[in-house]
């Protein structure tokens, strides 16, 4: 909270003058994750008396932000940590960053390639980088041989293998024999024979595979690594100058705190156990086949960068949900109603009292249907219609909660049964949040990924409200109504516990573990732009001290308009032209001054944030 206050305080008062929402980056956390990964492998290698070393690379697609990539290169310089690229722009940024890194560091080039990509990768070798071209398709080998002949630069080649190992988690589709990427066994043999024929078998030095992100268990990891390690040994025995086994990404993280392979938001192992498993599986395959232990490379992305940033946003208003409005739940003053409706309502109440929620919901539907019909005929008052809609909504929520299992415990309990009239507790309200799901949490919308979210202040006050979150976009998918929090039976909850908003006091929340993938995947839906970011460094000379430095101030309205090919200068010229010939119905007094003021407002809008201006934190 102190960081947020400093970030949004006006520059004139010593702050950074940024507007919400903001990404807080914690480079010390990044450093810690990287060191932990390296030391996990170093420890496993020592313990197993493994002859090779560990040389990881960071797949920049996880977060291409310059601050992140350059910090990884700097923190990893002492142990030769490298980068992985999957496209030409990623390769160029990785080359530029690694020029400042260790000469030992690897630069792994994945992804489909054309001659230009291969040319860039070869030039990377020319400028002294340890660049390896990983073939994703068999035909790429011809391209590599052609381009390298033209440039007279010998390539170092890797091959991505299509393993039979597959995991069943969300990201498992990458893997398996029908996976999108890599070479089959037959294609691998064909590449070896082409290289041998071209007298370039010495260039083949790396075998790569990736069985998908968030590998759920050590058993699946062991399967994949063992299969690949045997493949690696076969290639070595076929005469390739094999040196490196690249096990891809997939080291998972624990989003929901369960550390369980059964959860789709977690994995059943710790980083150290992952490293031990890899080292043991490779050692065992190499011992069996009498092959020298390879350098182990991994392309862990999520596990390195997820923890380093916190996305902070503010709540700007709330709308009360059905629960608080329907304090009396399904009760209804039936005096004015036609007998037909009184009867339906009576049956609804009986079902509810007997905890027959299906029955009660059916009657609620019938009640709503009949009321709408009567309203259309002009025979019903708006107040009644509103009340009956509320009753329907209460029942609808009860049914929804029943479906997700959220409230099954409650639905069975007599106390809630008796308490039925007060309305079952799903969301009490919707909090409107100053951010775009599509920009800042695209995975939540696209693949149902959940992230921990909590308020970042008022932490000594009990949060008494359950809410869902609704973002700024004009899109019904722009909402958060699934959370990692669980009910007493382990079911996922569709509302989040927060504090009640207080008049005149801003409310800030944080989304955690969001440092991987979200920033690059985020879209410009409704033209909400990239958000501001700051770096928070620990200040070791002061107890609990920290230093906040602006990294960037986010995209302005002008910036996002430019992305869509509008020219803000041209827009301003058009506005000014029209400002000088005001509509005839206006009778401007002092037109000179007014025009200048209006032009200033328009100009300021183009250079301001795409998000809502928020009140300052106190
Ligand atoms: N390497 C490759 C080839 C990938 O496709 C991916 C992501 O899917 C990664 C590395 C990074 O995976 P993760 O972030 O799960 O470590």
State whether the beta carbon of 252 lies less than 6 angstroms from ligand 1: no
- Measured by CA distance, the residue closest to atom 8 of ligand 1 is 213
Q: What is the mean pLDDT of residues 212-234?
A: 96
Instruction: Provide the pLDDT confidence category of residue 324 given band limits of 50, 70 and 90.
Output: very low
State whether the beta carbon of 515 lies less than 6 angstroms from ligand 1: no
Res. 419: pLDDT tops 70: no
Instruction: Provide the pLDDT confidence category of residue 616 given band limits of 50, 70 and 90.
Output: low
Lowest mean pLDDT among 99-113, 133-147, 367-381, 392-406: 392-406
Complex confidence, ipTM: 0.99
State whether the beta carbon of 247 lies less than 6 angstroms from ligand 1: no
Lowest mean pLDDT among 84-93, 171-180, 283-292, 417-426: 417-426
What's residue 266's pLDDT?
A: 93
What's residue 542's pLDDT?
A: 87
Q: In whole angstroms, how far apart are CA 466 and each of 257, 399, 461, 614? A: 21, 17, 15, 23
Place of tokens 């208003």: 317
Residue from 248, 302, 443, 519 whose mutation best tests the ligand 1 pocket (most atoms within 8 A of CB): 248
Res. 593: pLDDT tops 70: no
Instruction: Provide the pLDDT confidence category of residue 590 given band limits of 50, 70 and 90.
Output: low
Ligand 1, closest atom to CA 212?
A: 8
Residue from 113, 132, 210 whose mutation best tests the ligand 1 pocket (most atoms within 8 A of CB): 210
What's residue 422's pLDDT?
A: 33
Q: What is the mean pLDDT of residues 571-583?
A: 84
State whether the beta carbon of 110 lies less than 6 angstroms from ligand 1: yes
State whether the beta carbon of 251 lies less than 6 angstroms from ligand 1: yes
State whether the beta carbon of 210 lies less than 6 angstroms from ligand 1: yes
Residues 84, 86, 89, 91, CA torsion sign: positive
Structure tokens belonging to residue 554: 């986010």
Res. 186: pLDDT tops 90: yes
Which DSSP letter does residue 198 get?
T
Across 78-87, 365-374, 571-580, 606-615, the highest mean pLDDT is recorded for 78-87
Instruction: Provide the pLDDT confidence category of residue 374 given band limits of 50, 70 and 90.
Output: confident
What are the strands, taking DSSP E only, across 321-460?
Answer: 429-433, 453-455
Instruction: Provide the pLDDT confidence category of residue 411 given band limits of 50, 70 and 90.
Output: very low
Active site residue 474: yes
Note the pTM of the prediction, 2 decimals.
0.86
Cα separation, 472 vs 416, in Å, equals 35
Q: What is the mean pLDDT of residues 51-56?
A: 98
**Ligand 1 center to residue 155 CA distance, Å?**
24
**Ligand 1 center to residue 169 CA distance, Å?**
14
Largest CA distance in the chain: 95
**Ligand 1 center to residue 569 CA distance, Å?**
41
Ligand 1, closest atom to CA 171?
A: 8
Cα separation, 186 vs 321, in Å, equals 60
What's residue 592's pLDDT?
A: 62
State whether the beta carbon of 62 lies less than 6 angstroms from ligand 1: yes
Q: What is the mean pLDDT of residues 501-527?
A: 96
**Ligand 1 center to residue 444 CA distance, Å?**
18
Q: What is the mean pLDDT of residues 532-556?
A: 93
In the chain, % helix, strand, coil (3-state, to 5) comes to 45, 15, 40
User: Taking each helix axis from N to C terminus, what angle separates 88-98 and 66-75, rounded to the nearest 10 degrees?
Assistant: 40
Mean pLDDT of the chain: 90
State whether the beta carbon of 136 lies less than 6 angstroms from ligand 1: no
Would you call 472 helix, strand, or coil by DSSP?
coil
Residue from 249, 254, 305 whose mutation best tests the ligand 1 pocket (most atoms within 8 A of CB): 249
Pairing of strands 157-160, 204-208: parallel
Q: What is the mean pLDDT of residues 447-473?
A: 96
Is the peptide bond prior to 58 cis by the omega test (within 30 degrees of 0)? Answer: no
State whether the beta carbon of 200 lies less than 6 angstroms from ligand 1: no
């Amino acid at each position: 909270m102190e960081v947020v206050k400093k970030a949004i305080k006006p520059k004139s008062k010593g702050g950074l003058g940024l507007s919400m929402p903001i990404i807080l980056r914690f480079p010390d956390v990044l450093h810690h994750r990287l060191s932990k990964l390296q030391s996990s492998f170093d420890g496993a290698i020592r313990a197993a008396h493994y002859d090779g070393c560990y040389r990881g690379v960071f797949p920049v697609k996880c977060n291409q932000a310059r601050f992140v990539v350059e910090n990884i290169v700097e923190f990893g310089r002492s142990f030769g940590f490298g980068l992985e690229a999957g496209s030409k722009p990623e390769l160029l940024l990785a080359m530029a960053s690694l020029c400042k890194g260790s000469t030992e560091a690897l630069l792994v080039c994945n992804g489909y390639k054309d001659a230009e990509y291969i040319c860039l990768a070869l030039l990377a070798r020319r400028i002294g980088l340890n660049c390896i071209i990983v073939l994703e398709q068999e035909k790429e080998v011809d391209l590599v041989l052609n381009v390298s002949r033209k440039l007279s630069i010998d390539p170092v080649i890797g091959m991505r293998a299509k393993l039979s190992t597959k995991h069943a988690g969300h990201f498992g589709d990458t893997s398996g024999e029908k996976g999108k990427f890599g070479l089959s066994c037959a294609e691998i043999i064909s590449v070896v024979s082409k290289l041998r024929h071209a007298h370039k078998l010495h260039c083949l030095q790396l075998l790569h595979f990736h069985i998908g992100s968030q590998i759920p268990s050590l058993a699946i990891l062991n399967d994949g690594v063992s299969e690949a390690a045997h493949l690696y040994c076969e290639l070595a025995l076929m005469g390739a100058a094999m040196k490196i086994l690249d096990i891809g990404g997939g080291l998972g993280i624990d989003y929901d705190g369960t550390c369980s392979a059964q959860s789709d938001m977690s994995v059943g192992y710790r980083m150290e156990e992952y490293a031990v498993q890899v080292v043991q599986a490779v050692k065992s395959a190499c011992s069996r086949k009498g092959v020298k232990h390879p350098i182990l490379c991994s392309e862990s992305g999520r596990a390195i960068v997820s923890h380093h940033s916190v996305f902070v946003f503010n709540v700007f208003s709330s709308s009360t949900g059905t629960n608080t409005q329907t304090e009396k739940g399904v009760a209804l003053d039936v005096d004015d109603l036609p007998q037909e409706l009184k009867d339906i309502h009576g049956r609804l109440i009986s079902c509810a009292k007997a905890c027959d929620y299906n029955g009660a919901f059916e009657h609620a539907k019938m009640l709503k249907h009949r009321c709408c019909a009567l309203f259309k005929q002009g025979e019903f008052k708006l107040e009644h219609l509103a009340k009956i809609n509320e009753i329907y909504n209460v029942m609808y929520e009860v049914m929804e909660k029943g479906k997700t299992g959220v409230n099954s415990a409650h639905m069975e309990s007599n106390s809630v049964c008796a308490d039925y009239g007060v309305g079952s507790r799903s969301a009490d309200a919707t909090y409107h949040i100053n951010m775009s799901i599509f920009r800042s949490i695209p995975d939540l919308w696209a693949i149902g990924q959940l992230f921990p979210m909590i308020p970042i202040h008022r932490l000594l006050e009990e949060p008494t409200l359950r809410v869902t979150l609704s973002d700024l976009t004009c899109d019904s998918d722009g909402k958060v109504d699934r959370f990692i929090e669980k009910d007493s039976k382990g079911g996922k909850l569709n509302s989040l516990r927060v504090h009640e908003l207080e008049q005149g006091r801003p409310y800030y929340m944080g989304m955690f573990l969001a440092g991987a993938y979200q920033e690059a995947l985020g879209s410009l839906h409704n033209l909400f732009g990239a958000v501001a970011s700051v770096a928070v460094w620990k200040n070791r000379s002061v107890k609990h001290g920290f230093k906040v430095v602006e990294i960037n101030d986010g995209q302005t309205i002008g910036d996002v308009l430019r992305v869509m090919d509008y020219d803000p200068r041209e827009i301003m010229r058009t506005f000014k032209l029209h400002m000088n010939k005001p509509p005839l119905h206006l009778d401007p007094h002092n037109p000179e001054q007014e025009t200048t003021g209006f032009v200033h407002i328009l100009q300021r809008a183009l250079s301001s944030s795409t998000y809502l201006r928020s009140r300052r934190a106190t």
